[in-house]
Structure 1
């Protein structure tokens, strides 16, 4: 038998094996090519997603820096506006001349001092939350498509927060003053007050605000959208996307989540103010000056007359330190930062 015949018989006997081997080899080859192609596509997709996440993170961080700087800048303007409307310096100067109506002036100074302190907290909270919402709405929209809204409309949209610096300060201070008159009128200038009594005054105001129809937090959107900003609310704008942004902002300001967050921040603001006042009840250095054997008096038991507390509160709120601390506390508040991040992500992803 020839070699060729033997080879043919060998192929015939192992035909099925060769077929199966060939199919397996070919299948493995194409499967490997397919796996390599899918792996390459996955790697390219992952690389794009990483680049996209990095770009979004950088844009968000830039938005946050812009937001924080804007808050700091407008906080100074807010303080000036509040000081102008609730100017206690004129009353103080008049009192230095020992006028005949000094008791009436002290009563007026009492109301204005507490009004300025409490109004500052409410206004600062509203300003910070508003700017956090606006700049993250705008930032998310611009990240998605920078051509959606012009620079002119961006500026017009951001003008909303300036309502607080104009009519908002006047309106909110009047609302708070009316409530404080009810709370402070029974408290005489000579009444001795503990730190807890001061905290109770702040708590009474917050409680009356919560139950009042004029509560600035309850009417958040009215003080921002309609006060001094009638154009945005009542005049139709030709840009449909701009009108949608305005409506989305109104919906956010009117949401329970924002109102709850604002009340939380107001609570923190009054806690900060109480901490500042507590330092004047017993300065730390005085503890070292107590004579040996003298009984220790706990700060919570120390009393001061209302007449002495008025200059303390007036001076505390008049300093930039309190406003700076309040601003820093609100800017770094975890809940406020989370709100901004959620809004940014939402408007980035909205189709």
Structure 2
């Protein structure tokens, strides 16, 4: 599949780089260490603020990774399914005319690439806005959770789910889709083409018209109730598995102080952002029966419920 070999691996690689760099807490940890060595290096308020920032960023890092990995995995498969259906229909229409089919293939190659390259939009254009929104959600949820409070596995899971729910609540009227899909895909694709080639190729206009059609279909699918259902189920499943992995690594028992858990929470993001073939979470999403059924219906061109 195209999404397995090129599109999703590239998007995940870029995503990992961006999240790790923008939510890096190493300087904050160094700041606390310096405060231990030199008690005058940090005032009590500065120490408190530093710990709070570590708390927010640790959860933001993991929940952002969880949401972005899940949505990119689902989104790219929507793209590939829609593209595959169009290619099949084009082939069926042109199968009686080999020359027309050859011309169609040549014409559409750039359009196919531009369409699938939209999977990078989150990372190239929206990652900072996305992380800021997730950080807002994390701040809202975690403000009621002092660092000294003990948390068990169920409480960690509920905290993660609350952050996800708060993030989605902040994204009114399905505005989360705008993190994945450009408002004007042809213009965005044209800018990307100019950026990569250095010139404006007007011969690509027909490809851009097709791109606009495919992206419009993609946006309709993402806004559907059926997609929302598999998105929520997938996020819940991944949250449960990730926190389960944390429980295996940590003897929570009656709970650990939140401050003690933070390094482990932050480290949960790394396996979430591994490349698809080695990413067990992506494999879990793909194997969910309701996810498989959704894409089966989508390929068959059954309109999603809205």
With the shorter chain as reference, the TM-score category is: 0.7 to 0.9
Measured against aligned partners, the alpha-carbon deviations of 1:142-163 in whole angstroms (never above 9, x if no partner) come to: 2232527511111111122111
Post-superposition offset of 1:102: 3.1
* Partner SS, residue 218 of structure 1: helix
Question: Which one has the largest radius of gyration?
Answer: 1
Q: Does 1:281 align with 2:281?
A: no
* Number of aligned positions between the proteins: 264
Post-superposition offset of 1:308: 0.6
TM-score by structure 2 length?
0.76
- Residue 163 of structure 1 corresponds to 121
Query: Aligned partners of 2:141 and 2:176: how far apart in 1?
Result: 24
Q: Does 1:96 align with 2:33?
A: yes
Aligned residues of 1:133 and 1:249 also touching (Cα < 8 A): yes
Q: Using CA pairs below 8 Å that are at least 6 residues apart, which structure has the higher relative contact order?
A: 2
Residue pairs, 1:123-134, within 5 angstroms: 123-134=68-79
Aligned residues of 1:123 and 1:169 also touching (Cα < 8 A): no
* Residue ranges of structure 2 left out of the alignment (5+ in a row): 36-40, 92-103, 192-203
1:180 and 1:321, CA in 2 relative to 1: closer, same or farther beyond 3 A?
closer
* Residue ranges of structure 1 left out of the alignment (5+ in a row): 1-64, 283-298
- Residue 16 of structure 2 corresponds to 79
Post-superposition offset of 1:90: 2.5
- Residue 171 of structure 2 corresponds to 214
Post-superposition offset of 1:320: 6.3
Post-superposition offset of 1:118: 0.8
Post-superposition offset of 1:117: 0.7
Aligned residues of 1:75 and 1:327 also touching (Cα < 8 A): no
Post-superposition offset of 1:167: 2.8
1:339 corresponds, among 283, 289, 294, to: 294
- Residue 201 of structure 2 corresponds to none
Measured against aligned partners, the alpha-carbon deviations of 1:63-113 in whole angstroms (never above 9, x if no partner) come to: xx3223333443232111211221122222333323413332111111000
Q: CA RMSD for the aligned pairs?
A: 2.9
1:202 and 1:106, CA in 2 relative to 1: closer, same or farther beyond 3 A?
same
- Residue 119 of structure 1 corresponds to 64
- Residue 190 of structure 1 corresponds to 148
